[in-house]
Amino acid sequence: MDAALTAARAGLVSCHSCHLLVRPPAGGAEAMEHAACPRCGAALHSRKPDSLGRTWAYLITAMIFYVPAMALPIMTTTTTFGGARKDTVLSGVYYLLTTGMWPLAAIVFFASVVVPVLKIVILVLLLVTSRQGGDWRRLDRARLYRLTEAVGRWSMVDVYVVTILVALVRLQALAIVEAEQGAVFFAAVVVLTMFAARSFDPRLIWDQRSDATP
Protein backbone atom coordinates (compact mmCIF):
# COMPACT_ATOMS: atom_id res chain seq x y z
CA MET A 1 0.00 0.00 0.00
CA ASP A 2 2.81 2.37 0.90
CA ALA A 3 4.46 1.83 -2.44
CA ALA A 4 1.26 2.73 -4.32
CA LEU A 5 2.12 4.63 -7.47
CA THR A 6 0.09 7.82 -7.47
CA ALA A 7 -0.01 10.51 -10.12
CA ALA A 8 1.81 12.84 -7.72
CA ARG A 9 4.67 10.34 -7.24
CA ALA A 10 4.91 9.76 -10.98
CA GLY A 11 5.26 13.52 -11.45
CA LEU A 12 1.86 13.82 -13.14
CA VAL A 13 -1.22 15.90 -12.43
CA SER A 14 -4.79 14.68 -12.81
CA CYS A 15 -7.10 17.50 -13.98
CA HIS A 16 -9.77 18.26 -11.34
CA SER A 17 -12.37 18.92 -13.96
CA CYS A 18 -11.92 16.35 -16.75
CA HIS A 19 -9.47 13.91 -15.10
CA LEU A 20 -6.98 14.06 -17.96
CA LEU A 21 -3.53 12.96 -16.82
CA VAL A 22 -1.11 15.76 -17.61
CA ARG A 23 2.65 16.15 -17.35
CA PRO A 24 3.09 19.49 -15.56
CA PRO A 25 5.08 22.21 -17.36
CA ALA A 26 8.79 22.48 -16.65
CA GLY A 27 9.67 25.43 -14.45
CA GLY A 28 8.49 24.30 -11.01
CA ALA A 29 5.92 25.92 -8.78
CA GLU A 30 5.69 29.19 -10.68
CA ALA A 31 4.94 27.56 -14.04
CA MET A 32 2.42 25.29 -12.30
CA GLU A 33 0.54 28.26 -10.91
CA HIS A 34 -0.48 29.39 -14.40
CA ALA A 35 -0.86 25.93 -15.94
CA ALA A 36 -4.19 25.02 -17.55
CA CYS A 37 -5.49 21.63 -18.61
CA PRO A 38 -4.85 21.18 -22.36
CA ARG A 39 -8.20 19.43 -22.81
CA CYS A 40 -10.76 21.38 -20.75
CA GLY A 41 -8.86 24.54 -19.85
CA ALA A 42 -9.32 24.24 -16.05
CA ALA A 43 -6.48 25.39 -13.80
CA LEU A 44 -4.16 22.49 -12.97
CA HIS A 45 -3.39 21.53 -9.38
CA SER A 46 -1.84 18.39 -7.98
CA ARG A 47 -4.07 18.84 -4.91
CA LYS A 48 -6.87 21.32 -4.31
CA PRO A 49 -5.18 24.56 -3.16
CA ASP A 50 -5.30 25.25 0.62
CA SER A 51 -7.75 22.39 0.99
CA LEU A 52 -7.51 22.01 4.78
CA GLY A 53 -7.64 25.75 5.53
CA ARG A 54 -10.58 26.43 3.23
CA THR A 55 -12.57 23.47 4.48
CA TRP A 56 -12.00 24.56 8.11
CA ALA A 57 -13.15 28.09 7.27
CA TYR A 58 -16.41 26.87 5.67
CA LEU A 59 -17.03 24.38 8.48
CA ILE A 60 -16.48 26.79 11.36
CA THR A 61 -18.83 29.31 9.72
CA ALA A 62 -21.39 26.52 9.21
CA MET A 63 -21.15 25.52 12.91
CA ILE A 64 -21.76 29.11 14.01
CA PHE A 65 -24.73 29.52 11.64
CA TYR A 66 -26.21 26.19 12.73
CA VAL A 67 -27.20 27.66 16.12
CA PRO A 68 -29.53 30.42 14.79
CA ALA A 69 -30.68 28.03 12.04
CA MET A 70 -32.11 25.72 14.70
CA ALA A 71 -33.08 28.34 17.32
CA LEU A 72 -34.82 30.96 15.14
CA PRO A 73 -38.21 30.37 13.49
CA ILE A 74 -38.09 29.53 9.77
CA MET A 75 -41.65 30.68 9.06
CA THR A 76 -44.75 32.32 10.49
CA THR A 77 -48.24 31.08 9.69
CA THR A 78 -51.03 33.59 10.33
CA THR A 79 -54.64 32.43 10.13
CA THR A 80 -57.79 34.37 10.86
CA PHE A 81 -58.93 31.99 13.59
CA GLY A 82 -55.69 30.44 14.82
CA GLY A 83 -53.62 33.62 15.19
CA ALA A 84 -49.92 33.68 14.37
CA ARG A 85 -47.79 30.57 14.76
CA LYS A 86 -43.99 30.57 14.41
CA ASP A 87 -42.31 27.34 13.33
CA THR A 88 -38.71 26.26 13.78
CA VAL A 89 -37.15 23.36 11.88
CA LEU A 90 -37.81 21.07 14.86
CA SER A 91 -41.38 22.20 15.48
CA GLY A 92 -42.06 21.52 11.79
CA VAL A 93 -40.84 17.95 12.27
CA TYR A 94 -42.95 17.65 15.44
CA TYR A 95 -46.01 18.87 13.52
CA LEU A 96 -45.54 16.16 10.88
CA LEU A 97 -45.14 13.59 13.65
CA THR A 98 -48.34 14.57 15.44
CA THR A 99 -50.41 14.68 12.25
CA GLY A 100 -49.67 11.00 11.76
CA MET A 101 -47.06 11.30 9.02
CA TRP A 102 -44.18 9.73 10.90
CA PRO A 103 -42.31 8.48 7.76
CA LEU A 104 -42.30 12.04 6.41
CA ALA A 105 -41.35 13.38 9.85
CA ALA A 106 -38.44 10.93 9.92
CA ILE A 107 -37.25 11.98 6.44
CA VAL A 108 -37.39 15.70 7.27
CA PHE A 109 -35.71 15.16 10.67
CA PHE A 110 -32.95 13.17 8.99
CA ALA A 111 -32.48 15.67 6.13
CA SER A 112 -32.64 18.86 8.22
CA VAL A 113 -31.10 17.88 11.55
CA VAL A 114 -29.06 14.68 11.26
CA VAL A 115 -27.45 15.28 7.86
CA PRO A 116 -25.95 18.75 8.56
CA VAL A 117 -24.58 17.67 11.97
CA LEU A 118 -23.24 14.40 10.57
CA LYS A 119 -21.61 16.26 7.68
CA ILE A 120 -19.87 18.71 9.99
CA VAL A 121 -18.68 15.94 12.37
CA ILE A 122 -17.41 13.74 9.51
CA LEU A 123 -15.56 16.61 7.81
CA VAL A 124 -13.91 17.66 11.11
CA LEU A 125 -12.81 14.04 11.60
CA LEU A 126 -11.41 13.92 8.05
CA LEU A 127 -9.61 17.24 8.50
CA VAL A 128 -7.99 16.18 11.79
CA THR A 129 -6.92 12.74 10.54
CA SER A 130 -5.66 14.08 7.20
CA ARG A 131 -3.47 16.65 8.90
CA GLN A 132 -1.78 13.83 10.82
CA GLY A 133 -1.30 11.91 7.58
CA GLY A 134 -1.63 8.51 9.23
CA ASP A 135 -3.03 5.40 7.62
CA TRP A 136 -5.81 4.87 10.19
CA ARG A 137 -8.91 3.29 8.52
CA ARG A 138 -8.28 4.97 5.20
CA LEU A 139 -10.93 3.03 3.32
CA ASP A 140 -13.60 3.91 5.90
CA ARG A 141 -12.58 7.57 5.80
CA ALA A 142 -12.84 7.54 1.99
CA ARG A 143 -16.34 6.04 2.29
CA LEU A 144 -17.37 8.67 4.86
CA TYR A 145 -16.23 11.39 2.46
CA ARG A 146 -18.33 9.94 -0.37
CA LEU A 147 -21.31 9.68 2.00
CA THR A 148 -21.14 13.38 2.91
CA GLU A 149 -21.05 14.34 -0.76
CA ALA A 150 -24.05 12.13 -1.59
CA VAL A 151 -26.47 13.09 1.20
CA GLY A 152 -25.72 16.80 1.66
CA ARG A 153 -28.16 18.05 -0.98
CA TRP A 154 -31.20 16.56 0.82
CA SER A 155 -30.84 19.15 3.59
CA MET A 156 -32.38 21.69 1.21
CA VAL A 157 -35.81 20.11 1.62
CA ASP A 158 -36.95 22.43 4.44
CA VAL A 159 -35.92 25.52 2.46
CA TYR A 160 -38.12 24.29 -0.38
CA VAL A 161 -41.02 23.51 1.97
CA VAL A 162 -40.94 27.11 3.24
CA THR A 163 -40.76 28.44 -0.34
CA ILE A 164 -43.74 26.37 -1.47
CA LEU A 165 -45.83 27.29 1.59
CA VAL A 166 -45.00 30.97 1.12
CA ALA A 167 -46.19 30.73 -2.49
CA LEU A 168 -49.36 28.76 -1.73
CA VAL A 169 -50.62 30.24 1.51
CA ARG A 170 -51.25 33.86 0.70
CA LEU A 171 -54.97 34.24 1.03
CA GLN A 172 -54.81 37.62 2.74
CA ALA A 173 -58.18 37.31 4.50
CA LEU A 174 -57.79 33.70 5.65
CA ALA A 175 -54.19 32.58 5.96
CA ILE A 176 -50.69 33.73 5.08
CA VAL A 177 -47.23 32.20 5.46
CA GLU A 178 -44.08 34.29 5.68
CA ALA A 179 -40.44 33.15 5.72
CA GLU A 180 -38.34 34.07 8.77
CA GLN A 181 -34.63 34.60 9.45
CA GLY A 182 -34.05 31.00 10.59
CA ALA A 183 -34.60 29.86 6.99
CA VAL A 184 -31.80 32.14 5.80
CA PHE A 185 -29.33 30.73 8.36
CA PHE A 186 -30.46 27.21 7.59
CA ALA A 187 -29.93 27.68 3.85
CA ALA A 188 -26.52 29.18 4.59
CA VAL A 189 -25.56 26.08 6.61
CA VAL A 190 -26.52 23.83 3.69
CA VAL A 191 -24.51 25.89 1.19
CA LEU A 192 -21.51 26.23 3.51
CA THR A 193 -21.33 22.49 4.19
CA MET A 194 -21.56 21.83 0.43
CA PHE A 195 -18.66 24.21 -0.16
CA ALA A 196 -16.76 22.56 2.70
CA ALA A 197 -17.20 19.08 1.22
CA ARG A 198 -16.11 20.31 -2.20
CA SER A 199 -13.02 22.11 -0.97
CA PHE A 200 -11.78 19.06 0.93
CA ASP A 201 -9.41 17.02 -1.22
CA PRO A 202 -9.99 13.29 -0.54
CA ARG A 203 -6.49 12.56 -1.85
CA LEU A 204 -5.19 13.94 1.44
CA ILE A 205 -6.62 10.82 3.10
CA TRP A 206 -4.22 8.70 1.07
CA ASP A 207 -1.17 10.93 0.81
CA GLN A 208 1.90 9.81 2.73
CA ARG A 209 3.82 12.37 4.71
CA SER A 210 6.55 12.19 2.07
CA ASP A 211 4.13 13.04 -0.77
CA ALA A 212 3.73 16.45 -2.27
CA THR A 213 1.54 18.56 0.01
CA PRO A 214 -1.16 20.79 -1.50
Cβ neighbours, 10 Å, residue 204? 23
Assess 34 for contact with another protein (CB under 8 A): no
List beta partners, residue 14. Answer: 21
Binding mask 164-193 for another protein (x = CB under 8 A): xxxxxxxx-xxx--xx---xx--x---x--
Whether residue 73 contacts residue 86, with contact meaning beta carbons closer than 8 Å, is answered with yes
Interactions with another protein, residue window 45-104 (CB under 8 A): 79, 92, 95-96, 99, 101, 104
Q: How many CB atoms lie within 10 A of CB 66?
A: 20
Cα–Cα distance measured from residue 78 to residue 18, given in angstroms and rounded to the nearest whole number: 51
Can you tell me which of 52, 59, 70, 108 binds another protein, judged by CB under 8 A? 108
Binding to another protein, residues 112-151 (CB under 8 A): 138-139, 142-143, 145-146, 149
Q: How far is the CB of 64 from another protein (least distance, A)?
A: 17
What's the closest the beta carbon of residue 92 comes to another protein, in angstroms?
8
Interface with another protein includes 5 (CB under 8 A)? yes
- Compare residues 107 and 124 and give the one whose CB is closer to another protein: 107
Q: Which one, 67 or 101, has the nearer CB to another protein?
A: 101
Per-residue burial over 160-171, b if 16 or more Cβ lie within 10 Å, else e, is: ebbeebeeebee
**At 48, which amino acid appears?**
K
**Residue 62: CB partners within 8 Å, gap ≥ 6?**
116, 120, 188, 189, 192, 193, 196
Q: Does 14 bind another protein (CB under 8 A)?
A: yes
What is the smallest separation between the CB atom of 112 and another protein, expressed in angstroms?
10
What is the closest distance, in whole angstroms, from the C-beta atom of residue 121 to another protein in the complex? 20
